[in-house]
A and B are shown apart, each in its own frame.
Chain A
Amino acid sequence: EPEVTQTPSHQVTQMGQEVILRCVPISNHLYFYWYRQILGQKVEFLVSFYNNEISEKSEIFDDQFSVERPDGSNFTLKIRSTKLEDSAMYFCASGRGDQPQHFGDGTRLSIL
């Protein structure tokens, strides 16, 4: 069964540094998402991406965040200047619109 693949599995970064989280969605999916889960808390929606543009973003997704689909396979989340409170598990998901979203195994981001 096709999977959503996320790299790296764990990223450690100094506060103030830029970080890029990478995702390879399922190949025939059209909708792409990023969610995050702060340790011990619920999964929160960050942003959805469809037809090469952001379709919705949450209040968490401020100017420090950006997403990109640089080629036909990758979907990236960039945090421009990381803060301690950005430490979380970040999940990428993809869907076809008529099916539930498939999630990757996540990237654990640790900000020091």
Chain B
Amino acid sequence: AQSVTQPDIHITVSEGASLELRCNYSYGATPYLFWYVQSPGQGLQLLLKYFSGDTLVQGIKGFEAEFKRSQSSFNLRKPSVHWSDAAEYFCAVGARYGGATNKLIFGTGTLLAVQP
């Protein structure tokens, strides 16, 4: 069965420090992978996606993620965190499009706090 694991429930980093949020997935084939960000009381904003090709993908707000097939991982990184990055981050896996479903399976999220 498809699943997504985000092992870190809560992470605190200092402003200006680097960040890595972990995501591991279980899927029968190579999936589509996504990171979404959710600010309190807000919807889900897409940060970046991996469909195919270059395994290092760039997203908005200076985020990047690397797909590692051998580790079934898709970790999110940012070299220098800003206070405005404080939010909850969700990793999600989806089926390769072509079917009529294309549902997303989400991880439990990582809540990021940024210290001044």
Q: Do A and B bind each other?
A: yes
A residues contacting B by CB (< 8 A) are: 31, 33, 35, 41-45, 48, 50-51, 55-56, 91, 93, 95, 97-98, 100-106
The answer to whether B107 has its CB under 8 Å from any CB of chain A is yes
The answer to whether B105 has its CB under 8 Å from any CB of chain A is yes
Q: Would you call A56 and B103 a contact (CB within 8 A)?
A: yes
Residues of A near B98 (CB, < 8 A) are 97
Q: Which residues from 58 to 116 on chain B have a C-beta closer than 8 Å to any C-beta of chain A?
A: 90, 92, 94, 97-109
Q: Would you call A48 and B102 a contact (CB within 8 A)?
A: yes
* Most B C-beta atoms less than 10 A away, residue of A45, A50, A100, A106: A100
The answer to whether B34 has its CB under 8 Å from any CB of chain A is yes
The complex places the Cα of A91 from the Cα of B105 at a distance, in Å, of: 14
Q: Which of B44, B99, B100 is the one whose CB lies under 8 Å from A43?
A: B44
Beyond A100-B32, A100-B34, 13 additional pairs, beta carbon < 8 A = A35-B104, A42-B106, A42-B108, A43-B44, A43-B92, A45-B105, A48-B102, A51-B100, A56-B103, A95-B102, A97-B97, A102-B46, A105-B43
* Number of residues on chain B facing chain A (CB within 8 A): 25
The A interface is mostly helix, strand or loop, or mixed, namely strand
* Most A C-beta atoms less than 10 A away, residue of B34, B43, B94, B109: B43
Q: Would you call B46 and A55 a contact (CB within 8 A)?
A: no
The complex places the Cα of A41 from the Cα of B9 at a distance, in Å, of: 11
Say how far A1's CB is from chain B's closest CB, in angstroms: 11
Q: Would you call A103 and B43 a contact (CB within 8 A)?
A: yes
B16-53 interface mask toward A, CB cutoff 8 Å, 1 = contact, 0 = none?
A: 00000000000000001010100000111110010000
